[in-house]
Structure 1
């Protein structure tokens, strides 16, 4: 029988994600906490004015972390696919809303995770248009964890709209996480995170969708590395610690 690893034996990105999940859950008990993740692709498309309104900004992706480190900005690394399951594990009964992806994908993700208390789903097309016109169904669902997988910058824009409607809980962007949930219960084998080759795994499984992201966009990111450093300084994202901008983020 394989011995379970203790926390100190886990890969550093896993340990970091545990700390991030714990803090997000704690902070969201009596207020709304917004969070998003940036990688080398999304940071090229993100809007600074929207990022300033997020309380948590995580760094997801080895390339972006390396580029920031090369400019003297030491960062921790986490990702939605590591953090969000850890959040749910802390309270499996917490009401969850999944917003985004193609029609039927959120429902399939819910079917593959029957232990989760998913109370609301919405695709990223016609249903999203209806949601943005009237958030009452989402609010009435009582969701305390809202995950949006709509792609940057749309998911950040809608996340901020949602956060203005609810009284407490977590409103988090998830990128392609909802799609990954629908495809397989554990999209990434543990060794992928250990070796930090998630990009290679995704490229092998989604070449048409992600080929440009890990070639042309990766080269573009290298050329813009100084601009990324300036952007994160401009929005006062203290990514050198855990990713929190501070408790004055919404003031």
Structure 2
């Protein structure tokens, strides 16, 4: 499934992939000591790329972009007959990857979120995967990177012996961070979104039927209406409109050329 698995969804290249394939791609990159950038995109992540050409180009340079939300999986099946039976949900993919890293003895570095969240996350992961080696934990500083600080962060990660960086900075900060840091690291970076909060027990998961029906956005909106209403009330209809236009040929959704330059400013 890894051969030519990119498919155009509103101008963003999303992989027609599954949990097993995405997991193996991350593990292989770690074992071979080569960089790889992965993100899991729901509607908000795709629309962020649609509305920002520079970010679109960054997303299209990622090695793996999984269909995190059911509407993104539906788009792959509708537009490209991908035949995907399930999405590749970031928090669940994180567990698949960590299970394999624990089995292989490959160390992990956690970057992002807050000290409180990480303080609760680490023991939860240790409980789920007793053999997992977490060799570094670094909360977000919630500010722009200082000149030369990207190299300092990369040096700390390499010195830890990590073979994977999980990045929990939220969309689109985490994708921008992973894109900027990939040239500095010989290991995969996974932008995992709300996985830190979910697995730390700070964010309640929607019931399975809501996840299957693509209604996770409604659950999240109910939990955080003030923060998320613009994301869902505005972007969800825009996504459906663009999807219909791409399907009918009214809009070609041509992606920009992949980005090649590395960012000198981004958030850490």
Class of the TM-score when normalised by the shorter of the 2 chains: 0.7 to 0.9
* Matched-pair contact (CA < 8 Å) for 2:57–2:256: no
How far has the Cα of 1:109 moved from its partner? 1.1
1: CA distance, partners of 2:221 / 2:196 = 17
Q: How many residues align?
A: 221
* Matched-pair contact (CA < 8 Å) for 2:106–2:133: yes
- Provide Cα deviations, 1:41-91, integer angstroms capped at 9, x if missing partner: 111213122123211111111123334544446374312112111111113
1: CA distance, partners of 2:111 / 2:45 = 18
Q: Which residue of 1 aligns with 2:176?
A: 157
- Provide Cα deviations, 1:124-164, integer angstroms capped at 9, x if missing partner: 22587465362221221121111112233321221123222
SS of the residue corresponding to residue 237 of structure 2 reads helix
How far has the Cα of 1:171 moved from its partner? 0.8
**Contiguous gaps of at least 5 residues in structure 1:** 1-14, 237-251
Give 1:1-251 correspondences, 5 Å limit. 16-30=18-32, 31-46=34-49, 47-72=55-80, 74=82, 76=84, 77-92=87-102, 93-114=105-126, 115=130, 116-126=132-142, 129=145, 132=150, 134-135=152-153, 136-167=155-186, 169-183=187-201, 187=205, 193=211, 197-225=215-243, 226=245, 230-231=252-253
2: CA distance, partners of 1:100 / 1:34 = 16
Deviates more, 1:63-72 or 1:78-87: 63-72
- Provide Cα deviations, 1:80-138, integer angstroms capped at 9, x if missing partner: 11211111111314221222223432232113222332222222225874653622212
2: CA distance, partners of 1:227 / 1:195 = 23
* Matched-pair contact (CA < 8 Å) for 2:158–2:185: yes
2: CA distance, partners of 1:89 / 1:149 = 18
* Matched-pair contact (CA < 8 Å) for 1:99–1:106: no
Deviates more, 1:136-145 or 1:71-80: 71-80
Instruction: Compute the RMSD of aligned alpha carbons.
Output: 3.2
**Contiguous gaps of at least 5 residues in structure 2:** 1-16, 50-54, 259-268
Cα gap change, 1:152 to 1:146, in 2 (>3 Å): same
* Matched-pair contact (CA < 8 Å) for 1:35–1:173: yes
2: CA distance, partners of 1:230 / 1:74 = 19
The TM-score with structure 2 as length reference comes to 0.68
Report runs of 4+ in structure 1 exceeding 6 Å deviation: none
- Provide Cα deviations, 1:19-56, integer angstroms capped at 9, x if missing partner: 32123313432122211122211112131221232111
